[in-house]
Each structure stands twice: as C-alpha cells, then as structure tokens.
Amino acid sequence: MVSNELQAALDAAEAAADVIRAHYGRGIGVHVKSDNSPVTEADMLAEKVIRETLSARFPTFGFYGEESGRHHMDAEAVWIVDPIDGTKCFVRDTPFFSTQIALWRGGRAVLGVSSAPVYGELAWAEEGAGAFMNGRPIRVSAITELSAATVSFGNVKAIARSEAWAGMRELFERAYSTRGYGDFVHYHLLARGALDAVIESDLSIYDMAALAVIVREAGGAFTDLEGGALSLDTHTVLASNGSPLHGELRELIGRQCR
C-alpha cells in the first residue's frame, strides 16, 4: 500500500512520461537559460502536467519546479520537481534522463519518485516504507571497504576547482573501480546494490531530493560532501551504501570541500 501522496507523485510521473515519450527523438527546439542549461518544450509541458496533477490532489501544498520556480514555500509541505533531469541527454536522443518528484516536509524529503520512461526504470520510496524499482524491493550493497567499492562520479566541476580534488585523487587510487554513470543512473545502481557510492557537485535540490529518499530507504546514506543533511540550498552529494564506507569517503574529500 502506498500513501495518497506517493500515489499522486507516481501518477504525476506517469503523466509526465506520456509527454516525454511524445517528444523524445523528434528534434524539438532547444533554448538556453540564463545559467547556460538547456530547456525544451517537453520540459515545460512535463512540469505543467506534473503540477496540475499534484495540485488537483493537494491544493494547499507548495511547489518548487526547475522551470517554474518556487511557489508557496511556506506551506506545510512542498513538491520539489525536475520534469526532465538530464535535458542535455534528452536533446541528444540519449535515454539517461528522468523525471524527479519529491515531497519536502519538516525540513527534509519524505518521499521520492524517479521515473526514467525511455530507459525503462521507475524507482520510488516513502520514508519508513522501503525503496522499490519497477515494483520490486531494492537494497544497497554490503561492501564495507573502499578497496572493494565501485564509486561513480557525476558533475564535479566545483570539486575540481577546490582543495578537495587532492582527496579525489587519493580516492581514485584506493577505490576498486571508478565510473561516471551520471544523472539518475548511478543513484538507481547504488540503491539496488550494483555500485557502492556516488559523488557529485554543481547540483540543485530538485536534482537530488527524490533520489535521496530512494537511497536512504534502500539502506544507504545521502548527505552533502561535508556529511551534512540536505537543505533546499544543497549543491553537492555524497551518497553511499552507508557506514563505514560513507565515513571513509567523507574523510577523504568532505572536510576540504566548500
């Protein structure tokens, strides 16, 4: 059984998936936003249908969407939405993009849906109820040593410009394997036990909030690079299968990253 809130998020993700499938691979126009990131008609339409679906069920909740911005952020709960996380992949006909929907309440994300309609994965979680992918329960790995761990990296521009890069170099040397899956892909792999940690910078809360709930409910840990809890202003991620690996990774890079 899922809550009414989670069901609304799942239904909104499916509505967005219909929009996304209709536009994918059609060579639609791309506009560049002020932050130099791309946006398409599919992004706008997907966010519109998500907001309509969620607002119809929970009209008093706030809404924070990548394309439409912040609305009623002082509400008891706020939906946090990225209609197409990975638009750069979407416009190049590469299926590594997803719809991210989270519910933020009491200073934390309490449910999350990560829908990758072309890739073929749908993950969801609600606080205290476990994590699922394509209808099946998922769980993080049991790897405890960095020397046996696979670590994936996404956006790391801010880390590369900081003193923390020295710690990253040591991590590259000590990890069993390093990869760069990026976007939703490495978080889904982490949550189902196929890799052991993810490190990223240069993100926004709508890129990570839903995935944080999924990883946590799968038994993992999800913090910023300094080990702090997520906030609406968080821009970095250290996600892992939990202790003791999380602490070891944090010691290597977190203290120096600002």
The mean per-residue pLDDT over the stretch 245-256 comes to 81
Q: What is the 3-state secondary structure (H, E, C) of 178-246?
A: EECCCHHHHHHHHHCCCCCEEEECCCCHHHHHHHHHHHHHCCCEEECCCCCCCCCCCCCEEEECCCCHH
In 86-146, at which residue ranges do the beta strands (DSSP E only) sit? Answer: 98-105, 108-116, 121-126, 131-133, 136-137
* Per-residue pLDDT reduced to its tens digit, 107-163: 999 999 999 999 999 999 999 999 999 999 999 999 999 999 999 998 888 778 877
* Per-residue pLDDT reduced to its tens digit, 69-113: 999 999 999 999 999 999 999 999 999 999 999 999 999 999 999
The b-or-e profile of 39-74 (16+ CB within 10 A means b, else e) is bbebbbbbbbbbbebbbeebeebbbbbbbeeeeeee
**Alpha-carbon gap, residue 141 to 192, rounded angstroms:** 7
> What pLDDT, on a 0 to 100 scale, did the predictor assign at position 258?
42
> What pLDDT, on a 0 to 100 scale, did the predictor assign at position 169?
84
* Per-residue pLDDT reduced to its tens digit, 177-200: 999 998 999 999 999 999 999 999
Contact 192, 218 (CB under 8 A): yes
pTM: 0.94
Q: How many CB atoms lie within 10 A of CB 143?
A: 18
Residue 48 phi/psi, 5-degree rounding, is -60, -45
Model confidence at 254, pLDDT cuts 50, 70, 90, reads low
pLDDT for residue 243 is more than 80: yes
Structure letter (DSSP) for residue 40: E
The mean per-residue pLDDT over the stretch 2-23 comes to 97
Residue 254 phi/psi, 5-degree rounding, is -70, -40
Distances 157 to 57, 101, 164, 202, 205 between C-alpha atoms, Å: 39, 25, 11, 7, 17
> What pLDDT, on a 0 to 100 scale, did the predictor assign at position 33?
82
3-state helix, strand, coil in the chain (%, to 5): 35, 25, 40
The H helix count followed by the E strand count for the chain is 8, 15
Among candidate residues 219, 163, 157, the one with its CA nearest the CA of residue 182: 157
* Per-residue pLDDT reduced to its tens digit, 8-18: 999 999 999 99
The number of residues in the chain equals: 258
